[in-house]
Amino acid sequence: MFKEKLIIIITLVMLLCACDMQEQSTQLAQIKEQNKIRVGTLASASNYYQAVQGEQGFEYELSQAFADYLGVELEIVPFFNLSDMFARLESGDLDLIASGLTYNKARAQQYRYGPTYRTISQKLVYKQGRVRPREFDDLDGNFTVIAKSSHSLTLQKIKKNNPSLSWTESEEFDEEELLQAVIDGEIDYTLADSHTLSLFRRYHPNLSIGFSVSHNDPIAWILNKSTDDSLYALLVPFFGDVKQSNQLYVLEEKYFGHVRQFNYVNTLAYIEAIKETLPTYRPWFEQYAGTLDWRLLAALSYQESMWNPRAKSPTGVRGIMMLTRSTAKQVGVTNRLEPEQNIRGGAKYLSKLIKRIPDRIPQPDRTWLALAAYNVGWGHVNDARIITEQQGASPDKWADVKKRLPLLIKKRYYRKTRYGYARGDVAVKYVDNIRRYYDALVWLDENNAIAPEPEPETAPEPEPVQNEPAPTEPAKTEPAALQSKVKEEESNQ
């Protein structure tokens, strides 16, 4: 009897040890033991890139949030082609792939997809000037896509019902390089994801959309296909949390919220102005920017006046930074039509607004809130922040305040605020435009695509200050750059 009990005890101990060994060998246990999660991603403006302020990118920040959720360090591993990245996943050198890849049934047979967290569409793109293709039968040139990509898988599926469809696949280019090849005339057509295309068209407006190849493609992270559910099991509650807490929305707004609208004429005019007009005023933007990025100051100025030093509006704002008479007086500007003075005053005023933002609010939210205040006034922005807090969102996050600013045009909201009615909807468009202009200017500057600064010239003879018309309102409402009559197209439709 004693011997039988001993055998049972030994068996139970062995089972417990086996279970413990099995637990220790799970993917999650290994991640915890190494205190890091290895995440692969394609290096791009939408996924991961190195900026002056450090590592940036939508997928990078989302991956960092997951690493924090697990309580481990993030090791982000950038790749330049899909083959290498998937090979590393299969070998076990990566724990997962977070690269904005869409769900595909063929790929799902080999890999495991996590929960869907965004949707995109695939667009056929070509260079402006060619005849617009409206279907695959209209293609009459070189059509190249990335090998083994979602685009390739989509075309393979379409080819079953369209046998004449043909294309070339390449592993030498990433998605943005293919788009650049279209601009350079090296290829005629390619496919691009809507979010990548929106970012790219900020500084390449000549890239046009022929037609949508797919709609609402779900995006998800990718893991190895195995019986080990330990890591996958935590992806489900993680994505539930980031959606519930609004963290996912905040990230989407940060990287893509300002590029959803695309205006071809406006963007083309801006790129030309960067080459032709900006060099005249760039020295002053740089001189008076102080702690600000001169390129942000220049983007703000373009939104206000399109870099026209004699710009004026019916509301009394004037000059290259479009200052009101009262604001000019605050910042020591005696002649708003003198561009150097106006730039100096605009820089000083924006700096004052940023300093007025509560210290607890980090960048870039501080800057976006200050830009909204430059347009509509800090009092109205603060009213929107109060409404934001009342509705259970964060008054310190631009993504949340941005959704409430348009409420200031509705009587049931503005009658309960301190400063009353305001064109909050205009302020939102205003900030989005500046962010697009700023992004494009940064990219062009860092790629040495801005014309060199000219030799110093004598500033245009200013009009006498006494000829300035008195303002009809205490603060400006709608900036001149928003008066374009060109209907904007939705690049993400």
Which residues belong to the active site?
304
- Of the CA atoms within 13 Å of residue 105, those in its CB half-sphere come to 3
Amino acid of residue 453: E
| 36-42 and 73-79 beta bridge pairing | parallel
Dist. CA 433–CA 305, nearest whole Å = 13
Give exposure, 141-165, as e/b (b: 16+ Cβ within 10 Å). Answer: eebbbbbbbbbbbbbeeeeeeeeee
Give CA–CA dist 257/250, Å, rounded.
9
The Cα–Cα gap between 327 and 375 comes to: 12
Cα gap 282→245, rounded to integer Å: 42
Instruction: Tell me, rounded to whole angstroms, the distance of Cα 157 from its chain centroid.
Output: 30
> Longest Cα pair distance anywhere in the chain, in angstroms?
112
In b/e form, how buried is each residue of 343-368, taking b as 16+ CB within 10 angstroms? bbbbbbbbbebbeebeeebeeebbbb
Q: Give phi and psi for 316, each to the nearest 5.
A: 100, 0
| One-letter amino acid of 199 | L
Phi/psi zone of residue 54: left (φ > 0), alpha (ψ -120 to 50 degrees), beta?
A: left
Cβ burial of 316 (10 Å; 0-12, 13-18, 19+) is buried
d(CA 334, CA 492): 45
Q: What is the CA radius of gyration of the chain?
A: 27
Q: Are 459 and 338 in contact (CB under 8 A)?
A: yes
User: Do residues 232 and 97 lie in contact, with contact meaning Cβ atoms separated by under 8 Å?
Assistant: no
- Listed in sequence order, the residues at least 6 apart from 373 whose beta carbon sits closer than 8 Å to its beta carbon are 353, 356, 380, 381
Nearest to 388 by CA among 408, 371, 373: 408
CA distance 362 to 358: 9
The backbone torsions φ and ψ at residue 336, rounded to the nearest 5 degrees and listed phi first, read -70, -15
